[in-house]
Structure 1
Amino acid sequence: MSSATAATADDEVVHDFAPLLLVYKSGRLERPIPMPTAAPGRDAATGVVSKDVVLSPHSSARLYLPPAATATGRKQKLPVVVYFHGGGFVIGSAGSAAYHRCLNDLAAACQAVAVSVDYRLAPEHPVPAAYEDSLAALRWALPAADPWLAAHGDPARVFLAGDSAGGNICHHLAMHPDVRRGAGLRGIVLIHPWFWGKEPIGGEPRAPAKQRQQVGLWEFVCPGAADGVDDPRMNPTARGAPGLDNLACEKVMVCVAEGDVLRWRGKLYAEEVARARGAGRVELFESEGVGHVFYLLEPATEKAKELLDRIAAFVSAE
């Protein structure tokens, strides 16, 4: 192959999932969104302290300890929030600056010990690698393997939370047989969860070209999906999917955003959980006038603070 031909092949995009991922004919991958990282330590704004823990050769977690954990005279242990970042299974990390800021704020608002999970990304590691790493991290967190968790975390008040693909992971873990056989979870918080399906619902785009972004990305990151986007891992309300009455958690919170194309799937999920588990087991919260994961992009806005407050109330409620 001549150098000119090689250059042409390298420049030809065969999978366009912008802005998350571009895949070139040569096999080269490009992730256009800048993802600067932030080091763990003490956060000046919240007083939350964080540290990194290696869980395996290919996964890790960042732990967050709020000031409430070490407050003078405090004897009661704190809730534990295990968080899974979003990014379509192809971008993001626990060390991303946006997520580091988010988890500092979340730990402080919820007065909870937080565990932010790193998992392997596709396409280098196709799904189910992300699920496997996330399950391994949860298995590590539940028995309080880390001194922070052992000293300050309440194993009877464990919550899973995550945005977009991370919300998808939360659902998957809460449905996993190994988790169901355990003591169970207090609750899960799905923030703008990435669910989809073959048949459009609500205000989802009907044109095939508009559907292609969601369908194509899922089928690319999970080439083994049995029925495309109607695979139960992507469409938990699909015909034949395991019943949502099997969720291991006591209660569910689903957060959606008015300007997010995923909002209709989130609402449908909340409706189906309420049908399966009872309306008192699920809370649906919609942020008006904002889009997908807006709180990561504009954490200082009133809408972001409102969302954080609602999540904190859900975690602290008995």
Structure 2
Amino acid sequence: MEAGSTSQERERPRASPPALPCAVRLQVTAFSPLIDVINRRDGTVNRGLYSVADRVLRVRASPRPDSSGVRSADFDVDASRGLLARVFSFSSPAAPRAPLPVVVYFHGSGFAMFSARQCYFDRLCRRICRGVGAVVVSVEYRLAPEHPYPAAYDDAVDTLRFIDANGVPGLDEGVRVDLSSCFLAGSVRLAGLISVQPYFGGEERTESELRLDGVAPIVTLRRADFWWRAFLPEGASRDHPAAHVTDENAELAEAFPPAMVLVGGFDPLQDWQRRYADVLRRKGKTVEVVEFPDGIHAFYLFPDLPDTARAIERMRTFVQSNRTSPSAPEPSRGNDID
């Protein structure tokens, strides 16, 4: 709670903690103190300690398909700045015959932590590949505070441009992609935007932030404030346009694609996410809000939670509904671009 909070805010009734399976509760309970130690009070990240956690959590890309036929490979987008991506696709025997849509995924972390190569996001992208029926490209963007705004955004745009110019590297022979059906789960023509509990904020404290602070796991006001300070330009407030989307600062192209926003009922950021969807609607864009009342922040990382499978299914429906070429031609060779 900020020092300037009113007595009414301090007396606001707090929510009850979410009911979580034991395995999930143990993981999110372990997560909190680790993050609080890594995030230093001076606004820097303890990269030495972070690197230890990263080595524990990191998994290598594997050309050997898993039990569901999904394989992975890493490729450089711009090696000079350490920008790379991990692609998840079906092995040739398991691949559908038609060209596959592409989902470009940007992992969560408040722009300051985690990696496309860590186990939680590796497993998630395998589930998206398998459940949606898509090739998934997970971007290893640069992290704040060493690389503040707009570094992560630049990395995102440059990855899309790379895919547009080069296709998707690292696919098995016989696996084709349909770049007219490219989805952001976060140049190439975008067929859709999948905003999975998007990270927005502002100087205002919303009702959900106040009610769930210290009750819901992973995101607290203190951690969110730290991540915004690390990411935003020096001296900027949380009302910076990169954090705080409004009718006035949202400049959306005419071709802005249909969007789906996933919102969790135990995510402190949920009010900001609904406001984002409202801005899109007022701008005349097509947007669908999918509510998961029991969803904590990042619930989709935990397959033990029933909402994880439901979220993947909603992604699949959204992708199939917004593909620009649902009746794809028969494949002819390798990584063709239609």
**TM tier, shorter chain?**
0.7 to 0.9
Aligned mate of 2:210, from 205, 222, 225: 205
Give the length in aligned residue pairs.
Answer: 276
| Identical-pair percentage | 31
Name the TM-score, length of structure 2 as normaliser. Answer: 0.72
Q: Distance in 1 between matches of 2:275 and 2:66?
A: 40
Aligned to 1:8: none
C-alpha displacement of 1:27: 6.7
Aligned mate of 1:220, from 230, 248, 261: 230
Aligned to 1:192: 197
Give the alignment's Cα RMSD to 1 decimal.
3.1
Q: Distance in 1 between matches of 2:193 and 2:261?
A: 8
Aligned mate of 2:58, from 27, 37, 44: 37
Q: How does 1:76-155 map to 2 (within 5 A)?
A: 76-147=98-169, 152-155=176-179
Which amino acid in the other structure matches residue 314 of structure 2?
Answer: R
Aligned to 2:40: 23
Which amino acid in the other structure matches residue 259 of structure 2?
Answer: V
Aligned to 2:308: 304
Aligned mate of 2:78, from 37, 56, 59: 56
Secondary structure, in 3 states, of the residue corresponding to 2:86?
A: strand
Q: Is residue 291 of structure 1 aligned with residue 296 of structure 2?
A: yes
Q: Aligned in 2, Cα 1:43/1:92: closer, same or farther, shift over 3 Å?
A: farther
Deviation per CA, 1:74-129, whole angstroms, max 9, x where unpaired?
A: 2x311011000111111111110011100111011111111110011112222222
Q: Distance in 1 between matches of 2:238 and 2:190?
A: 27
Aligned mate of 1:257, from 257, 261, 264: 264
Q: Aligned in 2, Cα 1:293/1:43: closer, same or farther, shift over 3 Å?
A: farther
C-alpha displacement of 1:18: 3.8
C-alpha displacement of 1:40: 1.4
Q: Distance in 1 between matches of 2:43 and 2:307?
A: 43
Ranges in structure 2 where 5+ consecutive residues have no aligned partner = 1-32, 215-219, 323-338
Answer 1 or 2: higher relative contact order, Cα 8 Å, separation at least 6.
2
Aligned to 2:5: none
Of the structure 1 ranges 91-100 and 149-158, higher mean CA displacement relative to structure 2 is found in: 149-158
Deviation per CA, 1:111-161, whole angstroms, max 9, x where unpaired?
A: 111111001111222222211222211111123434457961111100001
Q: Aligned in 2, Cα 1:131/1:26: closer, same or farther, shift over 3 Å?
A: closer
C-alpha displacement of 1:43: 4.3
C-alpha displacement of 1:256: 0.9
Q: Distance in 2 between matches of 1:120 and 1:126?
A: 9
Secondary structure, in 3 states, of the residue corresponding to 2:180?
A: strand
Aligned to 1:6: none
